[in-house]
Amino acid sequence: MAPEHFDVLIMGAGLSGIDAAHHLQKLCPNKSYVILEQRDRMGGTWDLFRYPGVRSDSDMLTMGYSFRPWTSPKAISPGDDIRDYISATAHDEGLDRNIRFRHQIKRAAWSSAEARWTVQAVRKLPDGREEPVALTCNFLFSCAGYYRYSGGYTPEFPDIDVFQGRVVHPQAWPQDLDYSGKRMVIIGSGATAVTLVPALAKTAGHVTMLQRSPTYIISMPEQDTKANWLRSVLPAMWAYRLSRWKNVGFMIYLYQLSQRFPNFIKDGLLKKVREELGPDYDVATHFTPRYKPWEQRLCLVPDSDLFQAIKSGRAGVATGEIETFTGNGIRLKSGEELHADIIVTATGLVMQTFGGIELSVDGRDIDPGETLAYKGVMMSGVPNLASVFGYINASWTLKADLICNYVCRLLNFMDSKGLRQVTPMNRGEQAAAPFVENFSSGYMQRALTKWPKQGSKPPWRVHQNYIRDTITLKWTPVDDGALEFSNPLETSPKLAPRELAQAAK
């Protein structure tokens, strides 16, 4: 029996997968599509992460979808509310009818002769058994996020087995973990650690955030009063659009200022921390990073909650390198001992491309690290495949929306010309930079060799700039010379779109 066929197959039912389905349904209403999701529920990141206090660290006015207003008064939002927003979007638009849960994609193989992908997945049955499933599609849209779901990253700590308490990773938070009155050490200083510290400090005996080196931290109000006021006087969508542009503008301004005047921004950020923690606090040791602002993601804390926890004495920061775990906790190279009942390794994610699947084109295995990224959306030499990777200096969804819109434009362009295959062709462009530039986060550095590279000029550049991407993805003609269109109906050499359209008639 021939495998079931769809025009588009979306991998993943997270924030981006639902975004992709919305765009397809609206802009390409005649296309059939299916979403394969490896888990039992949608929401991706916002369903997987369940540690105490889990929340966004960018504002939801830019992290919400362009087409659905974020109406909660909280702009920095708890994870549950984000999950509900994604589910409500899928439900209200009937997108959830097209999701097949418990389907993990393992590999996808492109055949130019047929102009289609054959996608191999494994379906988990209710009794725990697994069975293989094969589907075909004309276009594969990866919305599988950027990290491994099966487990987070934990460095090899010496003597971790000697520790007599419990070690927990935030990616697999045990829901029955009782930490009331307990001494806790959180290893890490990224977004997860700074979220966990104030949330745990409410009931734990004491919480220490142990960091090798500090991160830039900025406090913002949990509620955006201007956005809430706009919502009280304007229709929800108008208020949302205005607030969204206000925040996009502010983010671009802050990022550009950080790039041009890093020392000025650094001084401003550290001054704020000193004001929060008072003149006696050792800001130089614990809150002064070694890198320039935005070389790693800026950590946002709502209503100064981290600083409040430190001031209350319920939480503290230790800066130093771990020498070893001990029976009672951790010993630092400085000789300092941190006693703990529970240690949380907020040490990051394991990044992966395309949901960890194997890709091949006409029998040739594809190593994404050997390709060039086309507009940050497709890969050189790989036909009919797009993927979402959002911003690292702004909300993920801003770029996800643009990419989803672009994919629909591309599909509609191909339909209008009677074309079935599109391949970004690298004609002599050299790899000039990693997929994400000037970003020193450990988890990025560990992974970027396996990601597509950037070239030195458009369309082979990957921007971290919403305005530039809006121009590149929304307003630049689809047929830009770097995309090669072909059609298996034709056995002749590759033709330009106009000639192909005539041939297809």
Ligand X SMILES: Cc1cc2nc3c(=O)[nH]c(=O)nc-3n(C[C@H](O)[C@H](O)[C@H](O)COP(=O)(O)OP(=O)(O)OC[C@H]3O[C@@H](n4cnc5c(N)ncnc54)[C@H](O)[C@@H]3O)c2cc1C
Contact residues for ligand X, defined by CB under 6 A = 11-17, 36-39, 44-46, 49, 56-58, 63, 104-105, 143-145, 149, 191-192, 355-357, 388, 390, 395-396
Cross-strand partners of 421? 486
Q: Comparing C-alpha atoms, which of 118, 88, 83, 102 is closest to residue 39?
A: 102
Minimum CB separation of residue 36 from ligand X in Å reads 5
Minimum CB separation of residue 355 from ligand X in Å reads 3
Question: Among residues 83 and 116, whose Cβ is nearest to ligand X?
Answer: 83
Contacts of the segment 430-437: beta carbons below 8 A, 24+ positions apart: 430/455, 430/456, 431/372, 431/455, 432/456, 435/373, 435/376, 435/389, 435/462, 436/392, 436/462, 436/464, 437/462, 437/464
H or E, element range at 233: helix 225-233
Question: Among residues 13 and 431, whose Cβ is nearest to ligand X?
Answer: 13
Question: Among residues 56 and 138, whose Cβ is nearest to ligand X?
Answer: 56
φ, ψ of residue 33 to 5 degrees: the values are: -145, 160
Q: How far is CA 350 from CA 274, 438, 482, in A?
A: 34, 19, 32
Q: Comparing C-alpha atoms, which of 301, 338, 324 is closest to residue 206?
A: 338
Other Cβ atoms less than 10 A from the Cβ of 259: the count is 15
φ, ψ of residue 161 to 5 degrees: the values are: -70, -20
Question: Among residues 146 and 179, whose Cβ is nearest to ligand X?
Answer: 146
Minimum CB separation of residue 415 from ligand X in Å reads 26
Distance CA 431, CA 457 (A): 10
Minimum CB separation of residue 466 from ligand X in Å reads 12
User: For residue 304, is it left (φ>0), alpha (ψ between -120 and 50) or beta?
Assistant: left
Minimum CB separation of residue 422 from ligand X in Å reads 22
Contacts of the segment 263-270: beta carbons below 8 A, 24+ positions apart: 265/293, 266/216, 266/292, 266/293, 269/216, 269/217, 269/218, 269/293
Question: Among residues 325 and 406, whose Cβ is nearest to ligand X?
Answer: 406
Question: Among residues 63 and 473, whose Cβ is nearest to ligand X?
Answer: 63
Type of residue at 502: Q
Distance CA 444, CA 259 (A): 19
Minimum CB separation of residue 360 from ligand X in Å reads 15
Question: Among residues 115 and 357, whose Cβ is nearest to ligand X?
Answer: 357
Question: Among residues 396 and 460, whose Cβ is nearest to ligand X?
Answer: 396
Question: Among residues 309 and 400, whose Cβ is nearest to ligand X?
Answer: 400
Minimum CB separation of residue 245 from ligand X in Å reads 17
Type of residue at 388: V
Minimum CB separation of residue 310 from ligand X in Å reads 22
Question: Among residues 22 and 417, whose Cβ is nearest to ligand X?
Answer: 22
Crossing angle of helices 79-92 and 15-27, in 10° steps, is 20
Minimum CB separation of residue 373 from ligand X in Å reads 16
Minimum CB separation of residue 18 from ligand X in Å reads 8
**First-to-final CA distance of the chain:** 31
Distance CA 396, CA 82 (A): 13
Question: Among residues 184 and 388, whose Cβ is nearest to ligand X?
Answer: 388
Question: Is there a contact between 315 and 203 (Cβ–Cβ < 8 Å)?
Answer: no
Distance CA 88, CA 469 (A): 28
Minimum CB separation of residue 407 from ligand X in Å reads 14
Distance CA 332, CA 319 (A): 9
Kindly give the pairing relationship between strand 378-379 and strand 373-374: antiparallel
